[in-house]
Amino acid sequence: MNRIRFTRCLALLAALATGLAPAFAQAQAYPAKTVKIIVPFPPGGAIDALARLLSQKMSESWGQPVVVENRPGAGGIIGTDAGAKGAPDGYTLTMGAVSTHAINAGLYKKLPYDPVKDFAAVAPVAIVPNLLVVNPSLGVSTVAELIALARSKPGQLSYASAGAGTTLHISCELFKSMTKVDILHVPYKGSGPAVADVIGGQVPIMCDSITSSQPHIRSGKLKVLAITSAARSSTMPQVPTLAESGVPGYEMHPWFGLFAPAGTPAAVVGKLNAEVARILALPDVRERLFAIGAEPMSANPEQFSAMVRADVDKWGKLVRAAGISAD
């Protein structure tokens, strides 16, 4: 009997090895050609900067081109949908965000993609907080002053965003909801043009990523009032949180991460996850992340997938409770 069992075990192990061999071979051969990372927003924002940093380091490591393709529009839906419909072979990746892979599920009644079922979560990359900024000509220096001004002029002030459903939109909508102020939303196709109009004075208020706002704050073209995260940023410790500034309980902590189409071989996903972890541990990369106000994240594909599912539920409940809609 023992000999029979032993023989069966050997046969089972051989079958497993035979089944796993193609996957391991595919992972070892990957990448054998150009890899594309779709960024569902225009150049210039935090998500674009992170994708280009990854693409540069991947290209150097693999000896294969890794290109970034910006496909903006509809709050990140157009590019994200394109990523979901890519071939599940690891050569089409998507740089996603909490907006594209969690918030949009609550904002829109019908999405052309399912943020959980249509993607393989590869790896989180970084958290990049948003800032509440204003044009200096608005004449406010604190969150309390902005709230007072907005309440004195209901419906007369406006804020810019990078588009409906982005964290920039949700950050300001949460601010409106929690402070009971009436400020008009003016959506743009990306952070770049939105910031330009805030600097130009066409729209006086914005919730923008720390990445794109920092240079304009230093130059005096924008005035920062608060940060959206639960804790102050190590890159701008002098900036108070919104919770500290009279909006208790306020928190918006935007994350960015890498995704592949559902069905991408687990061995390829694992290789990509390890590559992202390697890149984020590089001293020069950590310095560059710090320079744009980003904090690196680390998780395996299973942990990242669980985080995405939890955020779909969390932000869906919050969006519905606040009555926020992009439709």
- The predicted-structure confidence for 203-256, as pLDDT tens digits, reads as follows 999 999 898 899 999 999 999 999 999 889 988 999 999 999 999 999 888 999
Q: Using CA atoms in the order 178, 179, 181, 183, what is the torsion angle rounded to 10 degrees?
A: -60
- pLDDT band at residue 4, thresholds of 50, 70 and 90? low
Domains of the chain in sequence order: 32-127+254-322 (3.40.190.150), 130-227 (3.40.190.10)
Q: Which residue has the tokens 């150009």?
A: 34
- From residue 179, alpha-carbon distances to 153, 157, 226, 242, 323 in Å are 14, 14, 14, 11, 14
- Quote the CA–CA distance of 301 and 157 in Å, as a whole number: 43
- pLDDT band at residue 319, thresholds of 50, 70 and 90? confident
Q: What is the mean pLDDT of residues 136-162?
A: 97
Helix, coil or strand: residue 169: helix
Write out pLDDT tens, residues 8-53.
655 555 655 565 545 555 567 899 999 999 999 889 778 899 999 9
More confident residue, 20 or 298: 298
Contact 326, 151 (CB under 8 A): no
- pLDDT band at residue 323, thresholds of 50, 70 and 90? confident
pLDDT score at 299: 97
Q: What is the mean pLDDT of residues 268-282?
A: 98
Helix, coil or strand: residue 90: coil
Percent of the residues in the chain that have a pLDDT greater than 90, as a whole number: 70
The C-alpha angle with vertex 255 and arms to 123 and 213, in degrees rounded to 5, equals: 135
- From residue 169, alpha-carbon distances to 57, 75, 191, 194, 201 in Å are 31, 9, 10, 11, 19
Q: Among 271, 250, 297, 281, which Cα is nearest to 62's? A: 271
